[in-house]
Structure 1
């Protein structure tokens, strides 16, 4: 269909620096799959592996590994490289490449048992860890309509992603496409593919992807952060204790949605007002309903769409999202026409898209609607988890506060230019994204060519599920992976990690287009909150853990106390 690139040489791991030497890359969501297929041992195998044992040392040192040194799937050892001078190897000739059917993996019955009877449907990220321990770094699985090859090793992931062609695909985004096709609406950057996708991304990347371009929106983000602080103080003052804020994730979700909407639409939509406008509230509710009904559409058979209400609710939710965005874009179009007639210069992201002439109006509608959903969960969930852990580790919180005091004068707020001088601030966000990757799985489909990984040949159109949670919790690269240790990202920390072991924003040309905006929002919001408050845990001692509902979220509301710091601006 399209000419692909050949497999590239694996690169060595860069030296670990202050930022941990990662590849660049808001992981794009997998709303169409909902539940990543991975499960326990196949029934009928006789001896079951112990799912509680520690993962074997499968991947060796944190460097690039040649193909012949990749671990054999389903084993706990790394094969030594074949010696070029070995007479036995020469006599044997080239090794036969195996097919996907020869990979280990759970059967349908075992998958059903683990997901629906053992309660892993909402803990599929944990199931990744168990599957990797049992089957090794690569395993096959079937879930719903999907036949998957699961990747649970950063070494294997690196070899896979370095074989990407010019137009890599995450998956076919079937559910999103069904809505667009049913309603005859345009595709956007998550649903488009091939050359059309590439053209879209080339336009959308401008004014967003480079750090210097993200700084164009620093004032807008700072304005929204200031409104967040106002709402935080209001919520705090309304509690009986005068310091407790309940369900901080809900407040931070509204902050993130207001922030990305302000950038995309160049107008405030009122998410942080005490009384949210009815139109905006309907929009927020529709986003939640769309993701909720995506799960049902993934796990239930297609015939059930005619007898159960989830499919109509799914379509109606998307209709509301599109209509909300279209209304704001049309408003901006009229405003721009007036500015051009008056000879005024236009600025802003939406103005750039509309004035560039490189996208049709339909393409702008489709792109903005999809971009709107891309970064909200990353910002809100990451900030919620970061505050939760800082409240429970006052030592780390104090280190961050002292860093802020050293960089930011006491009479002003943290600004974008302060962020590069605050390594602990950046490390806290990185560690939060490692422990709680917002999208615990991602996917790739290689339409252009066959793929070779180790001793396996995968035909084109194979769906690879990337088990990011398992990789970012790999104790080979992250000792004590369940512990929140931001210092592991600082310069001089003794444990190097593989550059593909934690890539929360994706990799390569499919990397999150809104990464720089999300990072700027998270850094500025966290810095402002810690500058103003000491954050303490829920006095009731409630422990919160993560569950997987397409994205990784808290299993119960995160309630925190915010104690005002004397003299804070």
Structure 2
């Protein structure tokens, strides 16, 4: 019964789609032959557009596995060796059995798994109106009931585009990103000072969550939230609310019956309470900033202020294209998504460096060569550290930041890998499977940042031939809008930590196990030692 329940939790991925009928089909001409694999794998033939196969021809489990709801349970214990938390192992084995494209019935509909970079490219390069992201229905329900603006995470189509355009104009300019380096460095210096006092932490993720709350808070609100203050054992109220929100969003994903969609369940009321706490902080800060902006305008000092003080929220308010409510929704998205994802990314990056001391030493040498005895990090320093960037890229490859990869729901028919995928089909780009596939990566189980260096050639550089196997921040118009800020935050933190400490973990830790949450998360608390360098 336990296995059936866990399997039925996966119903969250399902979306209805119309029956297979003759329709106009959108075809993106990216046909190519997949590289032969050295392992025994059933390959999908790359058909020509004139030989498009129907959806019914997509391979996958048959028979009882296709019984609605119940069939999904048969993939897991006690019927197989897999637990629900080991679904990525199941998907890897299915790729070996069925090929690069296969479908599994979860609930009453199918999810199609994509395991080749060429097919991932087809999906990611499609116009944003062809597909949409899988949304958080718990958040959508709250937004509709509270009558608040939906942010970039929940919107699709024209509404999404209208909100995205002015936001990315303010966020993606290199000069804007660079202007935050000194502010993030100050936060990082405080974090490093705390580590010098502690020397060892028993829960690295908790420590890094406090760090990312402070640094993302500087981007969103231009203020510190007090999570790194000496003597503070618990984070700010907004941080607690945010962590509860993410926990409840994760639980809602796995609920087989989502009664909160129809009435306010006790679970929904708790989420509503935490959501109000979080949005109250964002709305209050937005109002304060707006009031200050109005004052500067009246005094004729606004332009001078914005030239000397980076302030993302002020720049949006001054732009005038978005309402105060819309800006609040954008800021809440950035604040919420930026904390958990960045903290987990830093955990895995530091863990890989601890598990691979030779790579850590190489990174330290680069930091010493580029930064030397300079007291401050600059954008010029960060631009020169190619091995640091390679370490992050390799860490993302080994442990993809999104547990289930990139998920899309088709808004119109699309041909992928020679198969007609009908509207409303859920496509899952199986990044974890591709990351461990020796067709695309040389010695894929090893942590080899060198594979990403521009000067690298030979077998180890194989990954350069398949850029769409690795898109941790997405691609194109729907790419993560906070990517440059997140990367800078990670680069600054990693540089400061490795420059000041040799990081290590207990000798019995040989790998980092993960658990299924919205963002890939360690399944256990990670202990880390910070030995101060002399």
Instruction: Give the SS at the match of 1:369.
Output: helix
CA contact (8 A) 2:209 2:339 kept: yes
Are 2:238 and 1:283 aligned? yes
Q: Are the aligned partners of 2:128 and 2:478 in contact in 1 as well (CA < 8 Å)?
A: no
Counterpart residue number, 2:212:
256
Task: Pick the aligned partner of 1:314 from 250, 255, 271.
Answer: 271
Structure-2 residue corresponding to 1:203: 166
> Residue 181 of structure 2: which of 195, 218, 241 is its match?
218
Look up the match of 1:492: 456
Indicate the residue corresponding to 2:349 in structure 1.
Answer: 386
> Once the 2 structures are TM-superposed, how far is the Cα of residue 145 of structure 1 from its aligned partner?
7.3
- 2:450 corresponds to 1:475: no
Segments of structure 2 that go 5 or more residues without pairing to the other structure are 1-8, 15-27
Aligned 8 A contact 2:132 2:408 in 1:
yes
What is the rounded CA distance, in whole Å, between the counterparts of 1:68 and 1:531 in structure 2?
A: 45
Q: How does 1:384-463 map to 2 (within 5 A)?
A: 384-440=347-403, 441-447=405-411, 449-463=412-426
User: Secondary structure in 1 aligned to 2:400?
Assistant: coil
Q: How far apart in 2 are the matches of 1:325 and 1:277? A: 23
Give the match for residue 54 of structure 1.
Answer: none
Give the conservation status (yes or no) of the 8 Å contact 2:58–2:102.
Answer: no
**Change in 2 beyond 3 A, CA 1:163/1:543:** closer
Q: How many residues are matched?
A: 489
Provide the secondary structure at the position in 2 that maps to 1:67.
coil
Q: What SS does the corresponding residue of 1:412 show, helix, strand or coil?
A: coil
Match of 1:302, SS state, is coil
Q: Residues 79, 179 of structure 1: CA spacing in aligned structure 2 closer, same or farther, 3 A cutoff?
A: same
| Corresponding residue of 1:299 | 254
**Match among 171, 174, 177 for residue 140 of structure 2:** 177
Distance verdict in 2 for CA 1:540–1:100, change over 3 Å: same
Provide Cα deviations, 1:37-66, integer angstroms capped at 9, x if missing partner: 69xxxxxxxxxxxxxxxxxxxxxxxxx995
Determine whether 1:504 maps to 2:472. yes
2:72 paired residue number: 111
Give the TM-score normalised by structure 2. Answer: 0.84
**Residues in 2 aligned to 1:351 and 1:339: alpha-carbon distance in whole angstroms:** 11
Aligned counterpart for 1:159 among listed residues 112, 122, 126:
122
Correspondences of 1:18-417 after superposition (within 5 Å): 67=31, 69=33, 76-77=42-43, 79=45, 94-95=50-51, 97-100=53-56, 102-105=58-61, 106-107=65-66, 108-115=69-76, 117=78, 120-144=83-107, 147-165=110-128, 168-234=131-197, 236=198, 243-276=199-232, 281-302=236-257, 304-305=259-260, 309-345=266-302, 346-347=305-306, 348-417=311-380
Change (3 A) 1:144 1:327: farther
Alignment check: 8 A CA contact 1:65 1:155 kept? no
- Do the aligned partners of residues 223 and 193 (structure 1) sit closer, same or farther apart at CA in structure 2, a change above 3 Å counting? same
Query: Could you say if the C-alpha distance between residues 516 and 262 of structure 1 is closer, same or farther in structure 2, counting changes exceeding 3 Å?
Result: same
Whole-Å Cα distance in 2 between the matches of residues 363 and 249 of structure 1? 31
1:230-271 C-alpha deviation (Å, 9 max, x unpaired): 22223x2xxxxxx32221221111111211111111111112
Aligned alpha-carbon RMSD (Å): 3.0
Q: Match of 2:25?
A: none
The offset of 1:167, in angstroms, is 6.9
Query: With structure 1 as the length reference, what TM-score do the two structures score?
Result: 0.79
Task: Give 1:446 shift.
Answer: 2.9
Helix, strand or coil at the partner of 1:141? strand
CA contact (8 A) 1:122 1:549 kept: no
Deviations 1:47-98 (A, max 9, x none): xxxxxxxxxxxxxxxxx995374699x971354778xxxxxxxxxx953631
Question: Partner of 2:525 in structure 1?
Answer: 557
The 3 A distance-change label for structure 1 pair 480 and 199 is same
Per the TM alignment, residue 445 of structure 1 is displaced from its structure 2 partner at its CA by 2.4
Q: CA deviation at 1:503?
A: 0.5
* Structure 1: gaps of 5 or more residues: 1-32, 39-63, 83-92, 237-242
2:11–2:107 contact (8 Å) kept in structure 1: no
Q: Provide the secondary structure at the position in 1 that maps to 2:188.
A: helix
> Which of the two has greater helix per residue?
2
**Cα distance in 2 for residues equivalent to 1:467 and 1:339:** 50
Change in Cα spacing, 1:80 to 1:365, as seen in structure 2 (3 Å) is closer
Q: Secondary structure at the match of 1:324?
A: helix
Task: Find the residue that maps to 1:429 and give its secondary structure.
Answer: helix
Q: Where does residue 6 of structure 2 map in the other structure?
A: none
> What is the aligned partner in structure 2 of residue 16 from structure 1?
none
Shift of 1:409: 2.5
User: Does 1:532 pair with 2:517?
Assistant: no
Q: Distance in 2 between matches of 1:183 and 1:80?
A: 48
Tell me the secondary structure at the aligned position of residue 187 of structure 1: coil
Deviation for aligned residue 1:168: 4.6
Give the direction of change, closer, same or farther, for the CA distance of 1:204–1:145 in structure 2 (3 Å limit): farther
> Take 2:387 and 2:52, find their aligned partners in 1: how far apart are those partners?
49
Higher relative contact order (CA 8 A, sep 6+): 1
Distance 1:102 1:474, change over 3 A: closer
Q: Distance in 2 between matches of 1:101 and 1:372?
A: 43
Residue of structure 2 in register with 1:30 after alignment: none
Q: In the aligned structure 2, how far is the partner of 1:350 from the partner of 1:138?
A: 43
